[in-house]
Amino acid sequence: MLPEKIKNRGTPVAETETDKPLLFSPMTIGGVTLKNRVVISPMCQYSAHDGLANDWHNVHLGQYALGGSALVFCEAAAVEERGRITHGDLGIWSADHAAALKPVVSFLKAHGASPGMQIAHAGRKASMQRPWQGHGPLDDSDAARGEVAWDIVAPSAQPVNDTSLMPHDLSVAEIQSVQQAFADAAGYTDEAGFEVLEIHSAHGYLSHTFLSPMSNHRNDAYGGDRAGRMRFTLETVEKVRAVWPAHKPLFVRISSVDGVDGGWDLDDSVVLTDEMKSRGVDVVDCSSGGIAGMATTTRDPLPLGFRLPLSDRIRRDNDIATMTHGLIVHAEQAEEILQTDQADLIGIAREALYNPYWARHAAQTLGADPDFADWPDQYGWWLTRREAHLKSIGVR
């Protein structure tokens, strides 16, 4: 028998099936039921044109639905043009952007996956080169190929580091304009047919920089103490939740810790989560780092599941569903996380780039689909026969 899951965790209600591993039991959040607990985390592809999705996004995201994941998030989509990290970032600031994403949404739904959108603003990490083009601020070489730099914004006029662009500190009126852009993006996301929405408030992007004392040096209502620094994020949640339909789940991704002395810490995240929960957030996506560089940059090797203590603490202290990710590579590892109540959802990212069928293979490993019954008919019909042959010759 599987252990009974905690039911009173905000809006989410977990439904367990005693004949299946928890990884492949459904979970209902609001009016959306996920068929299992495998989530494809947002992964920037830097392949859009003017923020518009194209064939790359259709194929890249569609493969994860065929691969058996229950919830497939698009990459971070900028809520306004200047909120992109690079010229190749996805956007969701107009009806045209919503229309370009409708084929992705349609395919995901047709093949059993719930489509998810992450809305974001890069803040002081905007106007950058694609990673494979240097990963630094846009310069003359980029301008020569038609990708010019643009002015960037932040809570305070402080760059990420000594080699980064200097941002403009936002006025209160500009803050309200950006928050409205998040709300508008939520409307376009709903228009496109997405079922789950996530606000990006992590990894050193705009919302996170309001939260962290390392990057927010304001002395007005949007700075100062923790309550002031949380104000931008909490107001943004309120504005988005007012637009995003009540039956559709709202996630927020946070950097649960900055990982630097004097930065945002886990105690801060517990307080923030409590405030977000009261404003209608259903799931906290527990990430970390990024305030002064890349979110996974470290001098020391990171262990498998290195963010688990973050989701575990926030889940228990706030009685809210959490999603964890960060070097989760094995089916047994993911199942143990769920069995020990350290998280409710398992985010897979780079491992899914390596193996888009991670969820299908995990189901095989855990015995949840031994007969390929859950595979698309176009694949399963062949695989059952191949498997029988492999067994007959002693390979299986």
The catalytic residue positions are 205
| Alpha-carbon span 48 to 57, nearest angstrom | 8
Element (H, E) at 189: helix 172-192
SS3 content of the chain, % helix, strand, coil (to 5): 40, 15, 45
| Alpha-carbon span 342 to 364, nearest angstrom | 23
Element (H, E) at 323: strand 321-324
Angle at which helix 266-278 crosses helix 226-243, to 10 degrees, equals 40
| Alpha-carbon span 77 to 310, nearest angstrom | 25
Edge-to-edge strand order for the sheet containing 32-34?
13-14, 27-29, 32-34
Q: 327 by DSSP, 3-state: which?
A: coil
Tell me which DSSP letter residue 41 carries: -
| Alpha-carbon span 47 to 91, nearest angstrom | 11
Tally: H helices and E strands in the chain: 12, 14
Answer for the pair 250, 281: CB distance below 8 angstroms, yes or no: yes
Torsion of CA 148, 128, 74, 381, to 10 degrees: 100
CA distances from 83 to 197, 218, 396 (A): 18, 21, 51
For the chain, how many residues are written? 396
How many other CB atoms are found less than 10 A from the CB of residue 46? 19
